[in-house]
């Protein structure tokens, strides 16, 4: 549902629609397809209610969203991110600069 809310039109309650109407007037905020995590090639978003909720495995999901804080970041270990940066890559797909590390 989180991805749909970014890729489709939404109403005030967060319900989604493929078509823009007077009710579904917000968004879309990203053009499909949803961006792929450059570390594990996954584009699925793991949604947590709070930062204290358990993290996904590093290979199951590409991104992590934390609803209570609005944080959105890459799902990767510190060493994986460091390897990307040292090889001249970028973590610019990280929308808020908060990188999930395990």
The tens digit of pLDDT for each residue in 30-89 reads 888 888 988 889 999 999 999 999 989 888 999 999 999 989 888 988 888 777 777 766
* Per-residue pLDDT at 58: 87
25 and 42 belong to one structural domain: no
100 and 90 belong to one structural domain: yes
Question: Domain limits at 90?
Answer: 36-102
In this structure, the number of other CB atoms found within 10 A of the CB of residue 36 comes to 14
15 and 54 belong to one structural domain: no
* Per-residue pLDDT at 9: 95
**pTM for this entry:** 0.68
Alpha carbons within 13 angstroms on the beta-carbon side of residue 71 total: 17
Please state the domain count of the chain: 2
22 and 61 belong to one structural domain: no
Contact 20, 8 (CB under 8 A): no
Six-digit token string for 36: 């792929």
User: What band does 96 get if pLDDT is binned at 50, 70 and 90?
Assistant: very low
The label of the residue with tokens 């584009």 reads 43
58 and 97 belong to one structural domain: yes
* Per-residue pLDDT at 87: 75
43 and 81 belong to one structural domain: yes
């Amino acid at each position: 549902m989180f991805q749909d809310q970014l890729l489709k039109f939404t109403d005030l309650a967060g319900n989604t629609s493929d078509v823009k109407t007077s009710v579904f007037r917000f968004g879309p905020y990203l053009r499909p397809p949803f961006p792929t995590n450059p570390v594990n090639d996954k584009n699925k978003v793991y949604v947590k209610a709070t930062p204290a909720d358990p993290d996904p495995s590093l290979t199951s999901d590409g991104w992590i969203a934390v609803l209570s804080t609005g944080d959105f970041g890459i799902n990767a270990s510190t060493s994986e991110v460091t390897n990307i940066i040292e090889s001249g890559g970028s973590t610019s797909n990280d929308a808020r600069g908060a990188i999930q590390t395990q």
